[in-house]
Amino acid sequence: MKVLIVGNQGDSDPGLVGARLLDLDFKLAFSMREFPREWKSIAGIDLLLLLGSEWSVYSEHNGKEVAAEVDLVRTAMKRGVPIFAICFGAQVISRALGGSVARAPEPEVGWRAVSSAFSPELLQHSWLQWHYDIFNVPASLQTVASNEVGPQAMLGRRVFATQFHPEATTEIIKRWSSGKGVDELHSQGIDPKSFVESSRDCVARQAPVTARLVDWFLTAVSTDN
């Protein structure tokens, strides 16, 4: 089994989601968003995993790359390739299926509660958030998790997408909390060092939940006919 992971150069760690896929004997292949002409073919791919990004779907600066990823999503769906999408990846899904993406009414940075009547045991938890945009759920998908800011997860035929980050590890959070992430955290009243330290327990708590989420996706979503 092979998964194609689409992420940005220097920020393409699939974290806990990737770790669970490796546990299940998936082989990981990577394509960098910045270089769509170099992307690997989805022929022979069993799963497409779209990661988060610092980009905005509606930004003119990366319009060609976003258009290429939208085309990739549509091609994967036509071929029946299951898609698991996270944050920016979920926003790409929304655009590809006729939804919209806009600036969120407020930034979500940090561990935030998510509600779900669809599957509380899998989705209704405190998840890592780090985004400034929010997606509209297309008519062909259903909202399966949300909070006061907006939709947090959506589900369709062989498609599952989250606004939150189920893949987040302490290493990922540490990397995001450095560089310009320091200013982003400070702007939200969050001390970077304390945030990384407190996230260790959160990651440990969520790791088994993410594993169950991946298992559910593979058994209940990716095989949906």
Give this prediction's pTM: 0.97
Architecture of domain 2-103+133-167+206-221: 3-Layer(aba) Sandwich (3.40)
Whether the CB-CB separation of 89 and 51 falls below 8 Å is answered with yes
Q: Give the three-class secondary structure for 151.
A: strand
Per-residue confidence of the chain (225 residues) as pLDDT tens digits?
999 999 999 999 999 999 999 999 999 999 999 999 999 999 999 999 999 999 999 999 999 999 999 999 999 999 999 999 999 999 999 999 999 999 999 999 999 999 999 999 999 999 999 999 999 999 999 999 999 999 999 999 999 999 999 999 999 999 999 999 999 999 999 999 999 999 999 999 999 999 999 999 999 887 765
Q: Give the three-class secondary structure for 29.
A: strand
Q: Give the three-class secondary structure for 152.
A: strand
Rounded distance between C-alpha atoms, residue 55 and residue 53, angstroms: 5
Q: What are phi and psi of 30, to 5 degrees?
A: -125, 145
Domain boundaries, the chain: 2-103+133-167+206-221
Structure token pair of residue 219: 């058994």
- Residue 13: name the closest of 94, 86, 68 by CA: 86
